[in-house]
Amino acid sequence: MNASEIGAAWDATNRAFGSPMSETQHEAIRAYYHTLFSAWGRQHWWPAQSRLEMIVGAYLTQNTSWANVEKALGNLRKARLLTISGIRRTPRRKLEQLIRPAGYFRQKAQRLKTFVSFLDARYGGSFERMFAQPTAKLRDELLALNGVGPETADSILLYAGNHPVFVVDAYTRRILERHQIVSSAVTYDHIRQLFEKALRERIPPKRSLDGAPAAVEIQTGTGESVVGPRGSSHRPSHVSTAERSPLVQTFNEMHGLIVGVGKNYCLKSQPQCEQCPLQKFLPEAE
Residue 165 lies in a domain: yes
Q: What is the pLDDT of residue 233?
A: 83
Residue 45 lies in a domain: yes
> Using CB atoms within 10 A of its CB, is residue 124 exposed (0-12), middle (13-18) or buried (19+)?
exposed
Which amino acid is located at 54 in the chain? M
**For the chain, how many structural domains are there in total?**
1
CA 96/CA 230 separation, integer angstroms: 34
CA 137/CA 73 separation, integer angstroms: 29
Torsion of CA 69, 236, 251, 190, to 10 degrees: 10
Q: Outline where 61-169 has alpha helix (H).
A: 66-78, 84-89, 92-98, 105-123, 127-131, 135-143, 150-155
DSSP secondary structure string for all residues of 137-160: HHHHHHHTSTT--HHHHHHIIIII
CA 24/CA 188 separation, integer angstroms: 19
Which CATH number does the domain housing residue 268 bear?
1.10.340.30
Residue 7 lies in a domain: no
Check the CA dihedral 38-196-192-42 and report its sign: negative
Which helix (H) or strand (E) element contains residue 200? helix 188-200
Residue 2 lies in a domain: no
Residue 268 lies in a domain: yes
CA 152/CA 210 separation, integer angstroms: 28
CA 284/CA 163 separation, integer angstroms: 37
Residue 226 lies in a domain: yes
Structural domain boundaries, residue 31: 21-286
Q: What are the φ/ψ torsions at residue 96 (nearest 5 degrees)?
A: -55, -45
Residue 4 lies in a domain: no
CA 43/CA 253 separation, integer angstroms: 6
Residue 5 lies in a domain: no
- Cβ 57 vs Cβ 75: under 8 Å: no
CA 263/CA 260 separation, integer angstroms: 5
Q: For the chain of 286 residues, list the mean pLDDT of each consecutive stretch of 10.
A: 37 45 88 94 94 98 95 98 98 98 98 98 98 98 97 98 97 96 95 96 53 44 46 90 94 96 94 94 74
Nearest to 245 by CA among 188, 165, 189: 165
- Across 232-250, b (16+ Cβ under 10 Å) vs e yields bbbeebebbebebeeebbb
Q: What is the pLDDT of residue 220?
A: 35
